[in-house]
Amino acid sequence: MKFIYWLIKIALLFVVLYIGDTYLKGLGWWSVLICVAAFILGTRLIDKKIEEYNKQYFLKRLPVLAELKTGQIITIELLNGQKLANRVYMTSLNTEILISAEPILTLGAEELEQAMEKTHWIKLKKVKRLRLRPKI
């Protein structure tokens, strides 16, 4: 996926430079500014589309992600068979989630530093199953 992503960006750069070289020769340095602005806008659009695609893909594969709230207890089963039970969900990005071995929201400064060593980012592409702990 990253290979295709960078290939699209490089192709966009060459297209923008070709258009700038062919049609904007009379503008001088303004053509360079126009090309750079077009490239930046184009890459931002590509980035947004890829983020939307990743979000839809992981929500379809792991529907529990939509319901997760900070501080909930979860069990994660990885593709390699490893099971991370009774972990605290902290936050997530497009392709990763942050989990902790214990809640760190109510700790003091010193305990917080020690607890932060027990936090891990887990890539969602390595997650096989994600379950919430049932409420008692």
For residue range 24-77, what is the model confidence (pLDDT) as tens digits?
Answer: 777 777 777 777 888 889 889 988 988 888 889 988 998 888 888 888 888 899
Alpha helices per DSSP H over the chain = 2-23, 29-61, 109-116
The DSSP 8-state label assigned to residue 124 in this structure reads: G
Percent of the chain with pLDDT over 70: 85
Considering the entire predicted model, what is its pTM? 0.65
* Residue from 70, 101, 71, 96 nearest 85 by CA: 101
How is residue 52 written in tokens? 């939307």
Close Cβ partners of 30 (under 8 Å, ≥ 6 residues apart): 24
Check if the beta carbon of residue 76 is closer than 8 Å to that of residue 99: yes
Interatomic CA distance for residues 125 and 136, integer angstroms? 30
At 101-133, the pLDDT tens digits run 766 555 555 665 666 677 888 898 899 998 887
What pLDDT is stored for residue 116 in this prediction?
66
* Residue from 60, 118, 119, 129 nearest 92 by CA: 119
What pLDDT is stored for residue 113 in this prediction?
62
Check if the beta carbon of residue 89 is closer than 8 Å to that of residue 74: yes
What pLDDT is stored for residue 77 in this prediction?
92
Interatomic CA distance for residues 72 and 88, integer angstroms? 6
